[in-house]
Copies of this chain bind each other. A is one copy, B any other.
């Protein structure tokens, strides 16, 4: 089934899930696709269609039970468990990622960090001891690490990603400003604030300076 779900749909599910969690926190129990759509600026039809790829979660005439739908979506996404991640590159950016408080509450834990610079290896940052890059392979296997985070300079990105892929990593969160290539079967998502800015200025440039 999973193979025929459009990737855009998969990318919207976490957005829905986050909103539902928030609604539960506010005490709401039921929601219609209409209401959720207004909240997220998405058409109700799109929400219903998206959900229909995975099952039938609503009650006609009523809407969706928020708690039930949340649990279903978390299971579909695989976020009803925790995931171990390895960070490669502990410069300014990597250090900030290690100290970032937003991952753990969502079940994403950085359990290993690597760098090539001897000035950094051995240091302990955010509770994690920075290891030498050569140890990536065995550490990933030993600690059952599922996801790689890359925060190295652009020039080293491809090499590092190849290393992670060779170590069996199937998902990479890439902070480097470089469109690295991954083989089929490996997912890559880029976090690239500069690209985001550069595509917004297109719309700004005509407005009064």
Stretch at the interface among A27-35, A61-69, A169-177: A169-177
Within 8 A of B (CB), among A37-51: 40-41
Stretch at the interface among A95-103, A117-125, A128-136: A95-103
- Assess whether A14 is in contact with B195, with CB atoms less than 8 Å apart: yes
Stoichiometry (number of copies): 2
- Assess whether A197 is in contact with B108, with CB atoms less than 8 Å apart: yes
Q: Which residues of B contact A79 (CB under 8 A)?
A: 198, 201
Q: Flag whether A142 is at the interface (Cβ < 8 A).
A: no
Interface residues of A (CB under 8 A from B): 2, 10-11, 13-15, 17-19, 40-41, 76-79, 83, 92-93, 96, 99-103, 106, 108, 144, 146-147, 170-171, 173, 177, 179, 181, 187, 189, 191, 193-207, 209
10 A-B pairs with CB atoms under 8 Å apart are A10-B199, A14-B198, A18-B177, A40-B179, A76-B202, A78-B204, A83-B197, A92-B96, A92-B99, A171-B204
